[in-house]
Chain A
Amino acid sequence: MRNHYLIILAGLIICLMGNHQTVLAEEVEIHGFISQGYLTTNQNNFLAETDDGSFEFNEMGINFTAYPTSSLKIGCQFFAMDLGDVGNDNIVVNWAFAEYHYQNWLGFRAGLLKTHFGLYNDTRDYDSLRTAIFLPTSNYIELLRDTLNTSKGIGIFGNVPLGPAGSLKYQIGTSGTQTSPETGSAKFLKSANGFSEISDIVVGERLYGIHFQWMTPVDGLSFGMTYDSFDYGFDAIKPTRIGDVMIDVPITFKAHNADYLVFFGEYIWNNWVFAAETYRHTEDSDVYHGTSGAFLQKADVDTRESFYVKLSYRFTDWLETGYYYSRFQLQPDTDDDQKKLKEHCLSFRFDINPYWLFKLEAHLMNGKFGVYPDNDGHIYNEWMLYAAKMSFSF
């Protein structure tokens, strides 16, 4: 883990010593970022061992981009993160693709692509691009970040002028991905379904997605939607009570017709940025016996309904503040605290210089979804999360 840290840090230092954003070769651009955060909660554990405070909260990446022709771009990014027991600073290829611009209204991409999902999913790894440390939990569940981050496939994109009605940005693609049992997504599924073990999660025997953003004639105002449809499956062990005895039952889980539907709007007006998103996920799932293959049952329909509203204001070159309210609800027809999480978040961002920033924020939380008991074994419905983070980028 430490070696990975050092490799990326060495890359950052070499580039910074050069005092330029472009090194090595004139046509290869290198950019990178590194951030280190601290998390603590007054009660419960959330995302890491936060009851006693945790520094297991960092991200780093370095990317390389070349332009063989003026319309063709090829690049890749290496990325590592740690958030509690997720990530553990293992280096992954975060994106690697070729992009060809045929016209403003049509371009092509192929490779390992950043996934579009609402307004900010494709930029969630980059702390310097937003006011808050955490994106709203309602739409941007931290544990699902690895699965939603990238997928292998192809896509088309463009910006279609609509005359007096503004313009329409679009991205359409088909792809697939595979997530290992050590990832946050596996942890999320184990937590949501009561599995004790889980195998690789294979996503995308059938996966396609469309993303539209209408840039209205009102300067800074846009609306859009994302729709993703996919299948996924995995093997797992589910502890099951039979009479007075708990036994481990091997199962194969297959989700069909899973889809994400996101609607969003954003308004940039002078020093203000307003944004809101809604998110709905539904799926049908079948459970089979892991060894015999016999059909066991239809799983509960997994439905998530969530939304957030946020605003931010830039006071000076060095100070920005933001607030959001977000509400996550798993299976909306239940009133179980374990299946919901509401949060109010107040953030302060201090830009020390264009390459170095510091953030502080507080979250007032209500709910227990994704929450673990504190170090004394108690779990509370109302609690606070505090976060601090320092980031560098070039």
Chain B
Amino acid sequence: MIIVRKSKGYVLLFCLAIMLFIAFDVSAEVPIAIIANKDVPTDHLTAEAIKKIFLGDTINWEANEGIIVVLLRDETIHKAFIKQYIKRTPTQFENVWRRNLFTGKGARSKRVDSIDDLIQYVATTKSAIGYIPADTSLPDDVKKISIE
């Protein structure tokens, strides 16, 4: 009887742990595309290069223009982007940019409320790069970056 009770306890603990993992992993599998201002001097980036840009490790384009990383406040799209490209938790990702904001060092970021705002900002800002759902249509002054 004692063994059965112990087993039930372990099962309960295991279920709680699984629930916590599930609670974390709620980001929808929305396919995400990387976009950039049409003047950004590349049309292709490796997955590693994208990760370095969005983690603030690469701060200049080849032509010495400072990169402006545009981030979405929309949690579903933002989390899907982090999951597909960055392989960090949203908090770990957030800390990279907060670190830059509060120490004044490193790469530059801009946060916007909606996909339309993001596209508008990227369209009008030289050297900006951002992310959107892959099926979103784009104006002429914004280009999709293909992943090598």
* Chains A and B come from one and the same complex: yes
Q: Which residues of A contact B (CB under 8 A)?
A: 21-22, 29, 31, 33, 61, 63, 65, 67, 69-71, 73, 75-77, 95, 97, 99, 101-104, 107, 109, 114, 122-123, 125-126, 128-129, 157, 159, 167, 169, 215, 219-220, 268, 270-271, 273, 314-317, 319-320, 351, 354, 393
Residues from 40 to 82 in B contacting A, C-beta threshold 8 Å: 57-60, 64-66, 68
Binary contact readout B95-134 vs A (1 if CB under 8 angstroms, 0 otherwise):
1001101111100101100000000000000110000000
Q: Are B88 and A268 in contact (CB under 8 A)?
A: yes
Chain B residue nearest in CB terms to A167: B57
Bound-state CA distance A33–B101 (Å) is 11
Query: Interface size class for chain B?
Result: 20 to 34
What are 9 sample pairs from A and B whose C-beta atoms fall under 8 A apart? A31-B101, A71-B65, A75-B104, A101-B66, A114-B105, A123-B102, A169-B57, A314-B24, A316-B23
Q: Are B104 and A314 in contact (CB under 8 A)?
A: no
Q: Are B20 and A316 in contact (CB under 8 A)?
A: yes
Q: Are B104 and A123 in contact (CB under 8 A)?
A: no
| Chain A residues within 8 Å of B88, by CB | 220, 268
Smallest beta-carbon distance A161→chain B, Å: 9
Instruction: Answer whether A393 and B98 are a contact pair too, CB < 8 Å, given A99-B105, A159-B57.
Output: yes
Q: Are A103 and B64 in contact (CB under 8 A)?
A: yes
| Chain B residues within 8 Å of A99, by CB | 104-105
Binary contact readout B9-43 vs A (1 if CB under 8 angstroms, 0 otherwise):
00000000000100110100000000000000000
Bound-state CA distance A326–B5 (Å) is 38
Known: A65-B101, A271-B89. 19 other contacts (CB 8 A): A63-B104, A77-B104, A95-B103, A101-B60, A101-B64, A101-B66, A104-B59, A114-B105, A122-B103, A123-B102, A125-B102, A129-B102, A167-B57, A169-B57, A315-B20, A316-B23, A317-B24, A393-B98, A393-B102
Smallest beta-carbon distance A220→chain B, Å: 8
| Chain A residues within 8 Å of B126, by CB | 70
B146 proximal to A (CB < 8 A) = no
B84 proximal to A (CB < 8 A) = no
Q: Give 8 nearest A-B pairs by CB, closest first.
A: A70-B66, A75-B104, A316-B23, A315-B20, A71-B66, A126-B102, A31-B101, A314-B89
Q: Are A314 and B105 in contact (CB under 8 A)?
A: no
B141 proximal to A (CB < 8 A) = no
Interface of A is mostly: strand
Query: Looking at the complex, which one of A22, A77, A157, A314 makes contact with B102 (CB distance below 8 Å)?
Result: A77
Instruction: Answer whether A128 and B98 are a contact pair too, CB < 8 Å, given A104-B59, A271-B24.
Output: yes
B87 proximal to A (CB < 8 A) = yes
| Chain B residues within 8 Å of A102, by CB | 64
| Chain A residues within 8 Å of B20, by CB | 315-316, 319
Q: Are B99 and A129 in contact (CB under 8 A)?
A: yes
| Chain B residues within 8 Å of A21, by CB | 111
Chain B residue nearest in CB terms to A271: B89
Smallest beta-carbon distance A211→chain B, Å: 12
Chain B residue nearest in CB terms to A351: B91
Smallest beta-carbon distance B14→chain A, Å: 14
Smallest beta-carbon distance A313→chain B, Å: 10
Bound-state CA distance A315–B23 (Å) is 8
Smallest beta-carbon distance A254→chain B, Å: 32
Chain B residue nearest in CB terms to A96: B104
| Chain A residues within 8 Å of B58, by CB | 104, 159
